[in-house]
Structure 1
Amino acid sequence: MTCPLLLFTPVRSLCEMSIPTTQKAIVVPEKGGFEVISYTETSVPQPETRQILVKNEYAGLNFLDFYFRSGYFPSPFPYTAGYESAGTVVAIGSDVTNFAVGDRVACIGPASFAEYTAFSADGYVCTIPDSISFKAAAASISQGLTAITFAEEAYKVKKGDYVLVQAAAGGVGLLLTQCCAAAGAHVIGTVSTAEKAEIAKKAGAETVINYVQTPDFVADVLAASEGKGVHVVYDGVGKSTFDASIACARCKGYVILLGEASGSVPPLALQTLTAKNLLVGKPTLFNYIAEPEKMKYYSDLLWNQIASGELDIAIYKEYPISEYTAAAADLEGRKSTGKIVLKI
């Protein structure tokens, strides 16, 4: 007996009747706030010749979801939300040779807040070893790779460096704190609550500053970095902290903008950088993992660091996908410490 899906598209699927024609998904029909989010029924995609169809088990939340929904990043509407997930390959296109039905995979790509997603077999997809759960993989694939690549390539963190991590208890910030501490750097973290301060300390931050209580924290950062400032600032907050980040960097230092949770950073006059020979960058993870060998190298490194305990994947809360709006409110309200995941 032939699987109905095979009548339309040359794919190899997990088994007959295992792939439905419809599914539940988070759909954003138009630009807006939480009120536009819809948990509704959509069609299950059929994988094209160079695609794999993944049955998602968990998905991770990112500020990308907010950026697209709010119109900060351009996006066609309507669209299925989500940008990272982990699950099992249930069908592959006829030209796919690098993945097989039954593979456990973690994926970065659109439309992951759904029961099934078609991802490019040539995209940001990697296999997951049996030692890593689907939940841990979904919670770490995007932010974990960001932390590792930014501490390796955006600026090569070295033993003895002074590093400032803005929002050190957030998703990427918490992982960056661990990566930099493991490299032997002196990590200074900024946080917004006393609870987050304790979390950042446990992750390896030597000095933690509550920037709500001490909004003018530049003097504290300078005092904690031999009076010279830090070698690199990783700023995931953006508008409200960026000027301070510039002030906290030492001569010939780096300021890496990795997120803009508080809003867009205003245009920067390059002349302001010359006083300290600063280098300012706004890198993206995708340029570091664009080649398949790079994706494999860094994902293998990520899984090894999780398995060894070098990286602790802190999950703030798990929501069922039907409660995505509540999960998004936690993330966008900056209530979370660590990662928020959806159970599909």
Structure 2
Amino acid sequence: MPMKAIRIHQPGDASALVLDEIPTLEPGPGEARVKVAFAGLNFIDVYQRSGLYPLPLPAVMGNEGAGVVDAVGEGVTEVQPGQRVAFAMHRGSYAEAVVVPAWKLVPLPETISEAQGAAIMLQGMTAHYLASSTYPLKAGDTCLVHAAAGGVGLLLTQIAKKRGAWVLGTAGSAQKAALARSMGADEVILYREADFEAEVKRLTGGAGVNVIYDAVGRDTFLKGLNVLKPRGYMVLYGASSGPVEPVDPQLLNQKGGLFLTRPSLAHYAANREELLWRSQELFTWVEDGSLQLRVDQTFPLGEAAAAHRYIEGRNTQGKVLLQIR
């Protein structure tokens, strides 16, 4: 039976996203099929669509979603048909159904909607590993969160505050700055109006920050090295402004024995135990109200191109979803 899916047949701009009809796949051993209700949009989708991260073509897009299990393959014990689940780190969510390795599927608590499940998995677990594992923030630390009003930024700011850090953020408009502050950011720098390097030095009395969480990349990376404390951490987890130029490791020595890491969620949710720990902690925080999950815009599946243009325009103030059913 055919199903609708958004695919690319060649890399390109948002117009490369095509609504196709394709066969519905059957789950194999260790797999489950999910009827997708919502798919989450992330910058990795843009990187894959544009060819920055090449895919075998044609490719169904989307790396995050939530819905209901409607079939399971041989040997599956993690989930069962009829169960509401969410997933990330598996491509194919811009479709009416997707087949996913069962170990990657997280059951949704009754209090978490499918829209919330699709909104929190990739960006929420990214924020979780950044603040809890890559550089585990503690009371008294100072961090700089670039794009603090974006999907990851808003969640990361809140988790950083939960862990006792003093949070500086950057944002592109007064409206976005106000949103970041409402989620706990102590100071927000309007990067279009002020030089963030000078502002961070001013706000920290020249001391700098312990860690920078940078999803922007080319436009912010080198300046960021100038505002880290000795032995500080540059955590580069995205490149919305473009990839960073190659770096001579000696530069890290010159700037104070700095640490540089380029993590991704796959490295921090590499098994089911870790996946369940991160996702369930996030669900608990959403349930008790200590983590606010903001859905910014929801587009129909057929308007995936408009949704991509929206996130590429740096318009996001929270999560962007595709609604599939």
Query: Under TM normalisation by the shorter chain, which class is it?
Result: over 0.9
Residue matched to 1:184: 164
CA distance in 2 between partners of 1:163 and 1:234 (Å): 8
Q: Which amino acid aligns with 1:241?
A: T
CA distance in 2 between partners of 1:58 and 1:117 (Å): 12
Tell whether the 8 Å contact from 2:108 to 2:117 is kept in structure 1 after alignment: yes
CA distance in 1 between partners of 2:45 and 2:268 (Å): 21
Of 78, 96, 100, 1:115 maps to 96
CA distance in 2 between partners of 1:144 and 1:261 (Å): 18
Query: CA offsets per residue over residues 262-309 of structure 1, 9 Å max, x none?
Result: 000000111011131110111111111112111111111011011111
Residue matched to 1:245: 224
CA distance in 2 between partners of 1:309 and 1:245 (Å): 33
Query: CA offsets per residue over residues 91-122 of structure 1, 9 Å max, x none?
Result: 00021112111111101111100000000113
Of 214, 226, 240, 1:261 maps to 240
- Residue 230 in structure 1 maps to residue 213 in structure 2: no
Post-superposition offset of 1:222: 1.6
Post-superposition offset of 1:31: 1.1
Q: Which amino acid aligns with 1:177?
A: T
**SS state at 2:126 partner:** helix
- Residue 166 in structure 1 maps to residue 149 in structure 2: no
**SS state at 1:260 partner:** coil
Post-superposition offset of 1:35: 2.0
Residue matched to 2:307: 327
Q: Which has the larger radius of gyration?
A: 1
Post-superposition offset of 1:313: 0.8
Q: Which amino acid aligns with 1:79?
A: A
Q: Which amino acid aligns with 2:200?
A: V
Tell whether the 8 Å contact from 2:79 to 2:105 is kept in structure 1 after alignment: no
- Residue 53 in structure 1 maps to residue 33 in structure 2: yes
Which structure's relative contact order is higher, taking Cα pairs within 8 Å and 6+ residues apart?
2
Aligned residues: 322
- Residue 94 in structure 1 maps to residue 74 in structure 2: yes
Residue matched to 2:116: 136
- Residue 145 in structure 1 maps to residue 125 in structure 2: yes
**SS state at 2:226 partner:** helix
Query: CA offsets per residue over residues 174-228 of structure 1, 9 Å max, x none?
Result: 11111101111110000111111101100111111001111x2212112222421
Superposition RMSD on alpha carbons, in Å? Answer: 0.9
Tell whether the 8 Å contact from 2:217 to 2:242 is kept in structure 1 after alignment: yes
CA distance in 2 between partners of 1:298 and 1:139 (Å): 14
Q: Which runs of 5+ in 2 are unaligned?
A: none
CA distance in 1 between partners of 2:259 and 2:250 (Å): 12
Q: Which runs of 5+ in 1 are unaligned?
A: 1-20
Residue matched to 1:304: 284
CA distance in 1 between partners of 2:237 and 2:54 (Å): 19
CA distance in 2 between partners of 1:199 and 1:205 (Å): 9
Post-superposition offset of 1:50: 1.2
Post-superposition offset of 1:60: 0.4
TM-score of the aligned structures, taking structure 1 as reference length: 0.92
Residue matched to 2:197: 218
CA distance in 2 between partners of 1:340 and 1:212 (Å): 24
CA distance in 2 between partners of 1:295 and 1:206 (Å): 30
Residue matched to 1:3: none
CA distance in 1 between partners of 2:196 and 2:34 (Å): 46
Q: Which amino acid aligns with 1:160?
A: G
